[in-house]
Amino acid sequence: MTALTPIDAQSLARKLRSRELTLIDIREPDEFAREHIDGAVSLPLSRLEAGHVALRGTTPVAFTCRTGMRTNSNCDRLAAHVGEPAFVLDGGLDSWKKAGLATKADRKAPLEIMRQVQITAGSIVVAGAVLAATVSPAFIWLSAFIGAGLVFAGSTGWCGMAKLLAVMPWNRKAA
């Protein structure tokens, strides 16, 4: 099986400039749209496996995500789709930016859905706690409901709040 070799941001930048490899960003499309390394190809991990994509026979490949955690925890799954040599950006997009390298960012793109879920859920939990302390103890059930929803989402992989936020007007693409 192919092993993914860690590569630092500066070395990856040199290989990208000389077109020695293809950089694949495995984050979801909403994350990629917000900010990515120029020249990276968006191929979310979920689509890579669902489509049974094999990247063997092409130029060498490097994978990235935001912090490197997603790529590192999925190295075996990613390696199954590529030939050698294959790389993983050590520290992901965050390390790329720390190295002073430019990214392609669209600040008008909505925040990533999971960040929207975190902001919304956190706000509702705080509001429920404040209302329970100041208005009626029954408002604690609002916080409990959101907490239960987060536990359900974490254990099943299905998040109703994310589904709801995804169809909000600010998350729809312009026609």
Active-site residue set: 65
d(CA 142, CA 65): 34
Q: What angle do CA 158, 156, 148 make, to 5 degrees?
A: 85
Element (H, E) at 164: helix 160-166
Q: How many CA atoms lie within 13 A of 149 on its CB side?
A: 19
Whose CA is closest to 48, among 9, 76, 67? 76
For residue 45, what is the DSSP state? H
